[in-house]
Structure 1
Amino acid sequence: MPLQLTIRRAQPADIPQIVAIERSAFDDPWDERTLQESLAYYPETFFVAKDNGDLAGFVAGGVEDTGEEVYGHIMNLAVAPGYRRRGIGQHLIRRLEQEYAVLGASAVQLEVRITNAGAQEFYRRLGYRVVLHIASYYANDEDALVMMKWFRF
């Protein structure tokens, strides 16, 4: 069945479904409190994808202002198991990138596990490039790659 996808800003009532998707997607998921805090701190850059009322995925982003540059930061992205590989992640990232452009960001960054080749390829297809390798970034001492995409206006 074709998707009836809508993307909107997340709301506190979405948190239980977001938690469920997070737990299905990651071995070390963010807990409910962390997701609530992310939504409270960055409500303008936390989006959900809905399909006929079902929460299909989410993206949580932040904004970092160095005083010289504004950067978007993709902090978390997950898609519900039954919705994966259907373009939802890409739609969520594109919507978040639009918001970052409106907010004056010159680039977007994210961290990805060095072992997560699928996520790295996903972001490469969207124009992100590896800029840094961080040793022992994750709780289990796994390394991370920092990937960035620069906006050209």
Structure 2
Amino acid sequence: MTDEQLLIHRARPFDLPHISAIEEESFADPWDLPTLEWVLETCGDHFFVAHYRQQVAGFIAGALEDTGEERYGHICNFAVTGAFRRMGIGRKLVARAEHQFAVEGASGVQLEVRVSNLTAQRFYEKNGYQDVFLIPEYYANGEDALVMMRWFRF
């Protein structure tokens, strides 16, 4: 893959049907189209899509959280379609979201991942994320979530 073949930009309304299809392919409890529309409307500055060879290959949706003491990014949803996995697209999407969070003053990024999703956990570990704590029964099917965090070092 060359950088000329990959374009990452903020999600737009016409990207949402493609993102919805990736959701359906990737998750047991995918976000529906109205949820994606709401995320685009409320968190559009942190919602990115990757086009590879002019096809929607993946997306990442996040938000900036402010505790009053600290700001951090929150990756809320992220997937790359099966045909384009293991090509570096996911890593570049995460880096794009992290960049946006850092520009806005975040000290790090948090995310939740299923305890059964070891592949995703390894991906995040390779990208500097560390286990922080568990949230029992986080997902609709009762599965626990592992919260992972990457702190920025400036």
Classify the TM-score, shorter chain.
Answer: over 0.9
Residue 44 of structure 1 and its aligned partner are, at CA, apart by 0.7
Residue 85 of structure 1 and its aligned partner are, at CA, apart by 1.0
Mark the runs of 5 or more structure 1 residues left unpaired by the alignment: none
Match of 2:100 in 1: 99
1:76 is aligned to 2:65: no
Match of 1:41 in 2: 42
Alpha-carbon separation, structure 2, partners of 1:52 and 1:147: 32
Residue 52 of structure 1 and its aligned partner are, at CA, apart by 2.4
Amino acid at match of 2:115: I
Match of 1:146 in 2: 147
Alpha-carbon separation, structure 2, partners of 1:75 and 1:146: 11
TM-score (norm 1): 0.97
Backbone CA RMSD of aligned residues: 1.1
Identity score, percent:
56
Residues 2 and 151 of structure 1, relative CA distance in 2, 3 Å threshold: closer
Alpha-carbon separation, structure 1, partners of 2:141 and 2:92: 30
Amino acid at match of 2:107: S
Alpha-carbon separation, structure 2, partners of 1:6 and 1:135: 37
Alpha-carbon separation, structure 2, partners of 1:133 and 1:148: 12
Residues 111-143 of structure 1 show CA distances to partners (whole Å, capped at 9, x for unaligned) of 000000000000000000000111111110000
Amino acid at match of 1:5: L
Aligned length: 153
Match of 1:63 in 2: 64
Alpha-carbon separation, structure 1, partners of 2:81 and 2:21: 8
Alpha-carbon separation, structure 1, partners of 2:120 and 2:78: 10
Q: Secondary structure at the match of 2:41?
A: helix
Q: Secondary structure at the match of 1:42?
A: helix
Instruction: Kindly report structure 1 stretches of 4+ aligned residues shifted beyond 6 Å.
Output: none
Alpha-carbon separation, structure 1, partners of 2:69 and 2:42: 21
Alpha-carbon separation, structure 1, partners of 2:135 and 2:69: 24
Amino acid at match of 2:49: V
